[in-house]
Structure 1
Amino acid sequence: MKFVDEFKDFISRGNVVDMAVGVVVGGAFKSIVDSLVADIIDPGIAYVVSLITGALKTAATSTVGDTSAVESVMDMSKWIIPGTSINIGNFLSAIINFLILAFIIFCVVKGLNKLNDKFKKKVEEEVTPAGPTQEELLAEIRDLLKDKE
């Protein structure tokens, strides 16, 4: 039983729980940063580099209806850069996963805090002897003052 009691004491310390929460939330936040870089920033840089180097191809190179070739190049929705795409969905998915994980961690920590508070109250009730009430102490002080006169 001593091992189990020591483990309870170890887990109930706030530092251990705080450290575990920090590691889990930090790992989840890392996935947001990774997704931002891989799905948003890197493709954006690829677009800029392709604009500078002239490697950009357009889906419409000839005139279509009343649009000229220059206007079709300026329409960014028709730009094609092989091997790149901005994946906003992946980034939003990483954010939603982070928020769900953070909420679950919040609920677990809140439950642990409630259990810890109940445990501390129970220990305090067992340890704290029933002392005199406030009225009894005041009556005792009054009697001591009367005796002193």
Structure 2
Amino acid sequence: MWKEFKSFALKGNVLDLAVAVIIGAAFGKIVTSLVNDIIMPLVGLIMGGIDLKDLTFSPEGINVKVPFGLFLQSVVDFFIISFSIFLVIKLASRFKKKETVKVEVVEPPTPAPEVALLTEIRDLLKQQERGL
């Protein structure tokens, strides 16, 4: 069982996936910090000095606050991460070599003269049978 697990875990695709998950998690933290610490304060400043994290909605008569400012930050996170992934995939597809399929045309070998003569005689006999 250990050998099977070891061969599975050391395959190239599994290692690539593990590295991608770790880098993705780190990238997600960077984007979250970018949105929380730079983009949203600038948007709040443009909107009149509002702190968007503190934006809440509370219906009248109910003592519940819905923090939609945090949701807006998550939406901005999502768009930045998805756009970044789109750009990476687009860039990777440009550099990926386009594989060309070479089609070799193989001509059938020339039959021996005897075979060619016998084929011609056969064809003539078939034509003669149809004519009668």
Common fold: TM-score over 0.5 = no
**Relative contact order higher in (CA < 8 Å, ≥ 6 apart):** 1
TM-score (norm 2): 0.37
TM-score (norm 1): 0.34
Flag the structure with higher helix content.
1
Higher Cα radius of gyration: 2
